[in-house]
Amino acid sequence: MAEAAERSLTAHLFEIFMLILATQIMGWLFQKMKQPAVIGELLAGVIVGPALLGWVVEGSLLEFISELGAIFLLFMVGLETRLEDILKVGKEAFIVAVVGAIVPFFGGYYFGLYIIGFSQVSALFLGAALVATSVGITARVMQELDVLSRPYSRIILGAAVIDDIEGLIVLAIVSGIANTGSVETGGIIRLVIISFAFVGGAMALVPFVRRIPLDRLPFQSPLGVSIAFGLAMATLASYIGLAPIVGAFMAGMVMAELREEYELEEPIHAIESFLAPIFFAYMGVQLDLAALGSRSVLIAGGVVSLIAIVGKLFAMLGALTQGLKNAIVVGVGMVPRGEVGLIVASIGLSAGAVDEREFAIVIFMVVVTTIIAPLSLRPLVAWADPEVAASRESA
């Protein structure tokens, strides 16, 4: 027993080591090529994962550590975001989130139902998988470019929170249809109330938190309080059914009020810089390239990816108050679907509503949207926000 445990300890240590080593090297390479490090980190996972070398395999332990990485990433992003700045662009964020959910959902649903002959339920799942943005990738690119404080970044972050709530609601609806054939209105209303109460409750904490003397609470350190709070909110979000990163982001935004006074940013950034690359690399590890082998999957996947991208680009309509260029950045920033789309599709798979081929189409869409967004964001931001380009040149 103990010896087996020791062996698995060595194996897991080796996996974490490999992920850190590979993300460090590939991230460096992509930075050298003036591309986002995050894509290098994703590819690092593909390289050491089952798709190529097979040194790192999927497992619940790595999955959890990668989730911790996403939590610290969004907590850090929250720390750099003030609620008042998000509220200033609240109307824009709301429209972006709503348009960016409706267009891809119906686009995916009708394409599935009428063009490639999915069943009613499969088509609903395809639409649902296209709803929620996976904000981690975009947040990381914005962090790298040091533009988290720009209005377009704030619109994206605010919209991503609302997006996640929409995704949860849509998932509840389509799961209900798949399982019982009907929508349980009471349950959906409860979900909506709980989700908004969670986000609203976190926002309501902000005015009070400024008066809390973190160093005089019965805790070892202000950093300890912050981490405990971030994990509490991530746990609570996960318990409600929202993504843990939404809770972590809200917690970071609450703590942003105290960030400077207690020097929370550097230590949280250190933890994030250790764990977040594991999150992106693990996305790559999970990538089943073999599933993408068939030609019909590639064609359907290509069209669905297009719907996913164009659908979110429609969302830019909500951000036109910031000028066309910034609005385009917002639209592209909302494109990545990542793990959220996969979760929706895998729920459909285990409910028997989605088959292996349909699942592979969703994987294809996730890969395309996850890679295309960061690749295009960098030049787009430089074009839309010349100040950034200038400050980066001189740096």
Nearer to a copy of itself, 186 or 218 (CB): 218
Report, in Å, the least distance between residue 5 CB and a copy of itself.
7
| CB distance 156 to 330 below 8 Å | yes
Report, in Å, the least distance between residue 322 CB and a copy of itself.
32
DSSP 211: T
Report, in Å, the least distance between residue 34 CB and a copy of itself.
14
Question: HSE-up of 364 (CA within 13 Å, CB side)?
Answer: 25
Nearer to a copy of itself, 25 or 204 (CB): 25
φ, ψ for residue 282, nearest 5 deg: -65, -30
Nearer to a copy of itself, 152 or 280 (CB): 280
Nearer to a copy of itself, 247 or 301 (CB): 247
Distance, CA of 29 to CA of 312 (rounded, Å): 30
Residue whose C-alpha is closest to residue 44's, from 281, 369, 279, 272: 281
Distance, CA of 126 to CA of 337 (rounded, Å): 12
Report, in Å, the least distance between residue 53 CB and a copy of itself.
16
Nearer to a copy of itself, 239 or 383 (CB): 239
Report, in Å, the least distance between residue 66 CB and a copy of itself.
11
Report, in Å, the least distance between residue 262 CB and a copy of itself.
13
Tell me which residue has tokens 């400077």.
260
Report, in Å, the least distance between residue 345 CB and a copy of itself.
9
Report, in Å, the least distance between residue 342 CB and a copy of itself.
8
Contacts of 218 (CB under 8 A, 6+ apart): none
Residue whose C-alpha is closest to residue 16's, from 51, 52, 64: 64
Residue ranges in contact with a copy of itself by CB under 8 A? 1-3, 5-6, 8-10, 12-14, 16-17, 20-21, 23-25, 27-29, 31, 37, 60-61, 63-65, 67-68, 71, 218-221, 223-225, 227-228, 231-232, 234-235, 238-239, 244, 266-271, 273-274, 343, 346-347, 349-350
Residue 56 CB: number of other CB atoms within 10 A?
26
3-state secondary structure (DSSP) of residue 242: coil
Residue whose C-alpha is closest to residue 107's, from 376, 296, 305, 299: 305
Residue 250 CB: number of other CB atoms within 10 A?
29
Nearer to a copy of itself, 220 or 394 (CB): 220
DSSP 292: G
Residue whose C-alpha is closest to residue 35's, from 305, 372, 356, 279: 372
Q: What is the largest CA-CA distance in the chain?
A: 63
Report, in Å, the least distance between residue 60 CB and a copy of itself.
7
Nearer to a copy of itself, 3 or 393 (CB): 3
Nearer to a copy of itself, 14 or 114 (CB): 14
Nearer to a copy of itself, 3 or 260 (CB): 3
Nearer to a copy of itself, 110 or 219 (CB): 219
Distance, CA of 172 to CA of 236 (rounded, Å): 18
Report, in Å, the least distance between residue 33 CB and a copy of itself.
12
- Vertex 55 angle, CA 339 and 44, to 5°: 50
Tell me which residue has tokens 């929409």.
166
